[in-house]
């Protein structure tokens, strides 16, 4: 995938669960529970397992790996 510098900025914001800089005051509105359900569906693990992994790792990105 080839991105322009403008596209890259938007991708980085999305990766950190944002749509724009903090000062814009715009939030994505996706809670951790919804993200955990999506990870559970795609990995075959339970939300309970994910919550346990999240407690130990502290990052949903690491949990999803």
Number of folded domains in the chain? 2
Q: By residue range, what is the domain housing residue 59?
A: 31-65
Domain identity same for 20 and 44 = no
Domain identity same for 42 and 24 = no
Question: Higher model confidence: residue 18 or residue 2?
Answer: 18
The overall average pLDDT reported for the chain is: 85
Instruction: Report the chain's C-alpha Rg in angstroms.
Output: 14
Q: Work out the average pLDDT over 31-35.
A: 82
What DSSP assignment string belongs to 5-20? HHHHHHHHHHHTTBSS
Cβ-based neighbour number of residue 43 at 10 Å: 13
pLDDT of residue 1: 55
In angstroms, the CA 37 to CA 56 distance is: 18
What pLDDT digit, counting tens, does each position of 34-57 carry? 888 999 999 999 999 999 999 999
């Amino acid at each position: 995938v080839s991105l322009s510098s403008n596209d890259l900025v938007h991708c980085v914001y999305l990766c950190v669960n944002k749509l724009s800089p903090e000062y814009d005051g715009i939030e994505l509105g996706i809670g951790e529970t919804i993200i955990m359900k999506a990870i559970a569906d795609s990995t075959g693990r339970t939300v309970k397992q994910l919550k346990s992994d999240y407690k130990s790792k502290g990052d949903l990105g690491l949990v999803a790996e």
